[in-house]
Structures are given as C-alpha cells and as structure tokens.
Structure 1
Amino acid sequence: MTRLVHKELAGGIATITLDSPPNRNALSVRLLGDLAEHLEWALAEPKARVIVLTGAGPVFCSGADLKEQRTSDAPVTASFPEVLSLIWESPKPVVCRLNGTARAGGLGLVAACDFAIAPLTASFAFTEVRLGVVPAMISVPVLRRLQPRAAAEYFMTGEVFDAARAVEIGLLTRAVPPEELDETVAHYARMLVKGGPEALAITKRLVREVPAVPFEEGLRRMTELSAERFTSSEGQEGISAFMTKRPPRWVPEGS
C-alpha cells in the first residue's frame, strides 16, 4: 500500500511530507497513521535535530477527510490528538513549511509547530462552523497562538484570510514570496541545528511556561536553572567550543 507520508533525513534535518495531493492532503485514517509513525521515527532518531513538516502539491492540508467520514461511524480523526501531542511536546524544534493553503484541521498542525512559514499566496480558514461542526481538537493548540479577538472572528465566521493576516494574528511566524519559501525554511533549520539539543528542549518549555509563573517564583526557578545549565556537560561543551572557536560537538558536520 502506498505511503501517504514520506520522510527524509539530511544535515540533521528530518523532513516529513504529507503526500496525498488527490484529496489535498486531507486527514484520513491512513495519513494520520503514517504521520504519527514518521513523527515517532524523527523523535527517536539521534541524527534528527530539527523536524520540518510540509506537504506535496498546492495544498498543505485541507482538514479532515470528509469523503472518508461519510462512510465511517467513528471520527476519522480519532488519532489526531496523538499527532498534535507528538508535535507540541516534541523536544526537537518543529518547523511547518506550508507549501500552500490550509483549512480547518490542517491549521491544527500549523499551530502545533514551533515555527510556521508560508508563501504569501496561501490562504487560511477555520471552516468547521459552516459544516455544522466545531474546531474542537485544533482549538487546543490554535488558541495558544491566536489573539483572542482574531480567534473569535475566524472560528465563528469561517471567513478566508491571507498569509499576511495570519502572521499578524499569530498563526504564522513568517509569510514570504513563494520563491523565498525554501530558503527561509532552510535558514531557520540551519540556525536551529546549532543549538544544544537539551538547551533547545528546555527553552521550548520556557517560552510556554514562564509567562504563567508568578514573577518572584519565576526568578528563583530560573536562577536555579541558569546555574544548572552553565555547569551541565552540554553547557560546558558549548562554552569550550566558543572559547576555542570551533563548532560544538552537537552541530552536524557542514552546518
């Protein structure tokens, strides 16, 4: 049976590609199964330092496979929470390279990633309410990215918005001309592989958790963490590499 998701590893970067263009990379049972398997591979592979999630064809992901859903009594996206958790909780940075438009559930994938870069020609919409359903599962990562007013506007109207607006409201990191997409994604990936693996995983948690911690408690905890990291083996290697003007051992050769 043909795989609906493909993987590739080069230069410390694991690229995972949704490859079901005939149905616009819709979230079918098979695609979600393949995606979960490939994400688990990337997380377990020591040589994979950064994960890039992208799609084949003109659409990144159109959301749930509605044709498949019509013939199934159970939700076809029953395994979607597992996929979202694998991305969200990944200790390795995850960059979403949107090859094109995204709708509904596809925006859950976008929001779960740490970085999201799209061409300016891409468009987006939370179309669920127009089908009489709701953006339930994807609201968990999406509402952690979107401005509250924008979330209410687009969740409730289903209106299409462009990539520039997606950046403005926090859904995307960057929107660039199509011809600059690959180089922009590569730029982020090259920068990320230079960070210490442990330091990146901890910093990813800091970005999410520290704003909710009371100020004085935050200072106390972060002072302890700072001292711990400076004396860690990874921290000592990074300092030694800086002082001797060489790349740290964790940087893939040629990066």
Structure 2
Amino acid sequence: MSTTIATEQDRRVLRITLNVPETRNALSTRMMGELSEAIRGAPGRGTRAVLLTGAGPAFCSGMDLRERSGGKAASGRPLMELVHAIGQVPVPVVAGVRGAARAGGLVLAAACDITVADARATFAMPEPLLGLVPEMTLAVLASRAPSAPLRRHVLTGTVFDAAAALQMGLISQVSPAGTFDQDIAGILDDLNRCSPDAVAATKRRLATALPPLENLLAAADASDAGFTAPHAREGVEAIREGRTPPWLTPPDQGQAP
C-alpha cells in the first residue's frame, strides 16, 4: 500500500520525507497519522535522531484544503497531536526546510527540536488571506516568536524569508547556498555523539515549556469551528477553484474608500 511519507533508517537516523510533491506535501489526515506513527515509533528502532524533510520544491504547503471543502469535515486535531508527539518523543527531531513552508507546514517545522532552513526557503501564515483564523498557528508559535514580528506576519499573511524566521526564533539555523546538506549532516553527527539518555532527559525538561496537549486540541477545535464561517468557506472554495476571494479583489475605481 502506498504511503504519504517515505522512511529510511540510516544507521542511527530515521529519515522521514513528506512524499506527496504534487500537493506540495499538504498535510492530509492520512499523512499526519503516518507521521505521528513514525515519530512515536522511532525510539524502538534504535534511533538517535529523526530527520524530517519534504520531497519536491516545497517543504509543506500546510493543511490539505481538499479535506476542508465541499461540506467535508476534516479535523485539525491530528496536526496538534503530531506537534505534541514531536515534543514528547525522547529523540531529537530535526527539520530540514527547502522551499515553502506555509501555515501548518510552518507549524510543523517550528515544532521540531532543531530546524535548519535553506537560505532560499520562504515562510508564511496565510490564513487571513483565506478567510481563516490561525488558531493552531498561534497556539504553537506564540510562545516561540517575539510578539511584534509575529503580529506583523500573522495579520497580513505576508511571505518572509529564512533570515526573518531565524530572527523570530521560528527556526534554528539558516544554511547558505550549497551548505544545506553538510549543515544537516553536521547536526546529526553532533547528536549521535551525545548520550541518548541525557538527550531524552533534556527533551523531557524542554517539554515543560511547550503548550499542553489540551491547549493544542482546544486550538484545533477552534480552527475546525472557524472553517464553518461563511468567509472561511468562500476563501477555501475560491483557492480550490483558482479564483480570487472577494476581499483580495481591488475595489472599483469609483468606490469610496
């Protein structure tokens, strides 16, 4: 049976690739379930670190909106359960971000213990452009990013680069052109030299600063409710149909401001 992710055990590193490039690795319910299962099962494979990357030109485009349209009732809970699994698993999870990370894709990247981005990677929280409230994005990122820069990007949905993401504390490192693979390999080597028991204890200590699961699930439920709003339904359908939502259409020339 085909899967939405590709996994490879490379000695002490479990390499997981989001592997649906035709959707820019959108987070379907199935993909999030497979990711959670793979990450939770990593310690049983003798893994010292997990490396998470995306196939194709994008790291992850966010939640799969095909599951949120036409009356379908997908849930955001699997994403928040995935975020919680990353925080709780006793091995470090390293994200390697090439290309775009949008909305839930940015959440996924920022939730990892160490996140390395190619200098050409881009990030955005475009939910308001789609008529959505970024409940899950804020639940995960608000404790990590300075308030003023976060407000600037989460209110406008604007794209920002890897340098800005680093400045905001959403990622750990920016790799100049040509050094991405080498930088990731260096981090994985560093982790392999550490005591796995000490690393696991350190992760438990770090997890005390993360949002509790009940808060994450509450944000997911609020996000689900937001998809039922008329403006959210219109935004999602407009994007799926390749048209512009009405609030992105310039006003008529003669219309008063």
Match of 2:239?
A: none
TM-superposed CA distance for 1:176, in Å, is 1.2
Match of 1:167?
A: 166
Match of 2:25?
A: 25
- Alpha-carbon distance in structure 1 between the residues aligned to 2:28 and 2:203: 30
Q: Give the AA of the match of 2:57.
A: P
- Alpha-carbon distance in structure 1 between the residues aligned to 2:76 and 2:124: 18
Verify the 8 A CA contact 2:87 2:203 in the aligned structure 1.
no
- Once the two structures are overlaid, the 10-residue window that deviates more, 73-82 or 84-93, is 73-82
Q: Secondary structure at the match of 1:86?
A: helix
Query: Relative to 1, partners in 2 of residues 1:207 and 1:84: Cα closer, same or farther, differing over 3 Å?
Result: closer
Query: Relative to 1, partners in 2 of residues 1:20 and 1:72: Cα closer, same or farther, differing over 3 Å?
Result: farther
- Alpha-carbon distance in structure 2 between the residues aligned to 1:86 and 1:110: 13
Structure 1 runs (4+) greater than 3 angstroms displaced: 205-210
Match of 2:49?
A: 50
- Alpha-carbon distance in structure 2 between the residues aligned to 1:178 and 1:56: 18
**Structure label with greater radius of gyration:** 1
Match of 2:92?
A: 93
- Alpha-carbon distance in structure 2 between the residues aligned to 1:31 and 1:178: 29
After superposition, what is the alpha-carbon deviation per residue over 1:167-225, rounded to whole angstroms, capped at 9, x for unaligned?
11101111112421111011111101111112112223444658xxxxxxxxxxxxxxx
How big is the alpha-carbon RMSD for the aligned residues of Structure 1 and Structure 2?
Answer: 1.7
Q: Secondary structure at the match of 1:67?
A: helix
- Alpha-carbon distance in structure 2 between the residues aligned to 1:172 and 1:127: 18
- Alpha-carbon distance in structure 2 between the residues aligned to 1:144 and 1:201: 22
Match of 1:214?
A: none
Verify the 8 A CA contact 2:54 2:97 in the aligned structure 1.
yes
Using structure 1 for the length normalisation, give the TM-score.
Answer: 0.77
Q: Give the AA of the match of 1:69.
A: R
Match of 1:9?
A: 9
- Once the two structures are overlaid, the 10-residue window that deviates more, 134-143 or 98-107, is 134-143
Using structure 2 for the length normalisation, give the TM-score.
Answer: 0.76
- Alpha-carbon distance in structure 2 between the residues aligned to 1:209 and 1:32: 23
Q: Secondary structure at the match of 2:77?
A: coil
Q: Which has the higher contact order (CA 8 A, sep 6+)?
A: 2
Verify the 8 A CA contact 1:28 1:77 in the aligned structure 2.
no
Match of 1:245?
A: none
Q: Secondary structure at the match of 2:179?
A: helix
Match of 1:37?
A: 37
Verify the 8 A CA contact 1:105 1:135 in the aligned structure 2.
no
Identity of paired residues, percent? Answer: 38
- Once the two structures are overlaid, the 10-residue window that deviates more, 108-117 or 31-40, is 31-40
Match of 2:116?
A: 117
Verify the 8 A CA contact 1:64 1:76 in the aligned structure 2.
no
After superposition, what is the alpha-carbon deviation per residue over 1:87-112, rounded to whole angstroms, capped at 9, x for unaligned?
12221111101122100000111111
Query: Relative to 1, partners in 2 of residues 1:94 and 1:72: Cα closer, same or farther, differing over 3 Å?
Result: farther
Q: Secondary structure at the match of 1:192?
A: helix
- Alpha-carbon distance in structure 2 between the residues aligned to 1:155 and 1:80: 19
Aligned residue runs from structure 1 range 169-188, under 5 A: 169-188=168-187
- Alpha-carbon distance in structure 1 between the residues aligned to 2:85 and 2:207: 16
Matched, 1:191 2:190: yes
Matched, 1:131 2:130: yes
TM-superposed CA distance for 1:78, in Å, is 3.4
* Number of aligned positions between the proteins: 209
Verify the 8 A CA contact 2:88 2:207 in the aligned structure 1.
no
After superposition, what is the alpha-carbon deviation per residue over 1:86-145, rounded to whole angstroms, capped at 9, x for unaligned?
112221111101122100000111111011001111111000111111221232321222
Verify the 8 A CA contact 1:27 1:77 in the aligned structure 2.
no
- Alpha-carbon distance in structure 1 between the residues aligned to 2:82 and 2:133: 19
- Alpha-carbon distance in structure 2 between the residues aligned to 1:105 and 1:8: 24
Verify the 8 A CA contact 1:127 1:158 in the aligned structure 2.
yes
Match of 2:200?
A: 201
